[in-house]
Amino acid sequence: MASVDEFVARRQADWTELEALLGRAAGRGLRGFAGPELERLGRLYRHASADLAVAQRDFPGDRVRTYLDQLLARAHPYVYQREVANWHGFLGFFTVGFPRLYRANARYVLASAALLFLPALVAYVATLTSTVGQEALVSPELLATIRAGRMWTDIPEQARPAVSTFLMTHNLQVSIMAFAGGVLAGLGTVYVLVQNGVLLGAVLGACQAHGLGLPLVGFISAHGYLELSAVVIAGAAGLRLGYPLLAPGLQTRRAALAEGGRAAVRLLLGAAPLLVLAGSLEAFVSPSSLPSEAKIGLGALTGVALYSYLLLAGRRAPTPAPVLPREGGGPVGG
């Protein structure tokens, strides 16, 4: 059996060529590819698939296996989609490309969710069970309002359009900060997520401790599934941007950062409509006179709809219909 260095030396030229083709495709899909280039892309994809099988068998713990796995994940949509989502087809991006991108970056999404919700859980327990925790984690003005048994979330009806715009802008700012923090090797992203998680959990715990849990959950629920999911996605984008600085794999750090940056920007773009819809719900539905139970039910419905879209949209049929030709002229799926 060849050593991993021999394996890489023998096969890296093809991997580099495949990366170059994918770099061209990332901007406008396969529209500018000539027939021989499409054939070459398909051939390189099949060879890289065989290389991954070898790496999984012979070098399962080496970074070459991770590199090939990521390379094939990038190439797969171009080989098996009828129409590759790209920056010129926003409808295709939002109906197919973004859900697939979300699932392809699941580990970053899960890490982002953990950085937001685990601190929230700790802060919730601290403020629910301790007045010291409340005083340490909740601002004095807000804590005084909570202890007086009053909610601060009522928005006058005539002010709601302006508040909606403000909330959309604020949520977008938080998301951009979570994304931009990735340039600091992800440390800025971690800070933004943890800070917002602590604030969320602390307020929830303090309200629960003073009998305001149901009104607050009702207020948050109507828009919270969309808003918090968008923040998690923006955090995942920041981590996707920052991780290549720490672990570029077999690529140069510059190339890995460029690849991560493209995926990160697309994740942030996909989250933007969620923030707009969340801001509208937060301004017009969350402070409305609807019962808290109705708002909670509405929020649950938005959550089901959102995650049905993110987890199910764009999945291939059992027998895909690829567009690239086989070696020798026949279609890949024929």
Cα Dmax for the chain: 78
Residue 221 has pLDDT above 70, yes or no: yes
Give the separation between CA 127 and CA 139, rounded to whole angstroms. 12
Range of the structural domain that residue 284 is part of: 101-312
| 170 Rama class: left (phi>0) / alpha (psi -120 to 50) / beta | alpha
323 lies in some domain = no
Statement to judge: residues 50 and 195 lie in one domain: no
Query: Which of 12-16, 232-236, 243-247, 298-302 shows the lowest mean pLDDT across its residues?
Result: 243-247
Q: Token digits for 12? A: 């890296």
Residue 57 has pLDDT above 80, yes or no: yes
Query: Which of 14-28, 111-125, 162-176 shows the lowest mean pLDDT across its residues?
Result: 162-176
Statement to judge: residues 171 and 39 lie in one domain: no
pLDDT band at 253 (very low <50, low <70, confident <90, very high): confident
Give the separation between CA 15 and CA 44, rounded to whole angstroms. 8
Among 80, 113, 133, give the residue marking a domain's end: 80
Residue 251 has pLDDT above 70, yes or no: no
Q: What is the DSSP letter of 27?
A: H
What local confidence, expressed as pLDDT, does residue 287 receive?
79
| Number of domains the chain is built from | 2
Type of residue numbered 148: A
325 lies in some domain = no
Segments in the chain forming alpha helices (H): 4-28, 35-58, 63-80, 90-92, 98-104, 106-129, 131-137, 140-147, 160-180, 187-209, 213-246, 253-284, 292-312
116 lies in some domain = yes
| DSSP string covering 229-278 | HHHHHHHHHHHHHHHHHH--TTS-HHHHHHHHHHHHHHHHHHHHHHHHHH
Q: CA 236, 241, 245 angle in degrees (round to 5)?
A: 130
* Residues in contact with 70: Cβ distance below 8 Å, sequence separation at least 6, in sequence order: 249
Statement to judge: residues 290 and 217 lie in one domain: yes
Give the separation between CA 116 and CA 197, rounded to whole angstroms. 5
For residues 110 and 244, the model is more confident at: 110
Statement to judge: residues 260 and 133 lie in one domain: yes
Give the separation between CA 137 and CA 153, rounded to whole angstroms. 19
pLDDT band at 325 (very low <50, low <70, confident <90, very high): very low
- Residue carrying structure tokens 């690239």: 324
What local confidence, expressed as pLDDT, does residue 243 receive?
86
91 lies in some domain = no
128 lies in some domain = yes
Residue 84 has pLDDT above 50, yes or no: no
Statement to judge: residues 227 and 300 lie in one domain: yes
Statement to judge: residues 153 and 243 lie in one domain: yes
What local confidence, expressed as pLDDT, does residue 136 receive?
93
Statement to judge: residues 76 and 158 lie in one domain: no
Other Cβ atoms within 10 Å of 16 Cβ, number:
13
Give the separation between CA 240 and CA 250, rounded to whole angstroms. 17
Statement to judge: residues 186 and 302 lie in one domain: yes
Statement to judge: residues 144 and 205 lie in one domain: yes
318 lies in some domain = no
Statement to judge: residues 189 and 301 lie in one domain: yes
Give the separation between CA 151 and CA 284, rounded to whole angstroms. 17
For the entire predicted model, the pTM comes to 0.68
Task: Please say whether the beta carbons of 146 and 208 come within 8 A.
Answer: no
Statement to judge: residues 248 and 164 lie in one domain: yes
Task: State the angle between helix axes of 187-209 and 160-180 in degrees (0 to 180), rounded to the nearest 10.
Answer: 140
For 149, the 3-state DSSP assignment is: coil
Residue 275 has pLDDT above 80, yes or no: yes
96 lies in some domain = no
Statement to judge: residues 73 and 17 lie in one domain: yes
For residues 110 and 23, the model is more confident at: 110
66 lies in some domain = yes
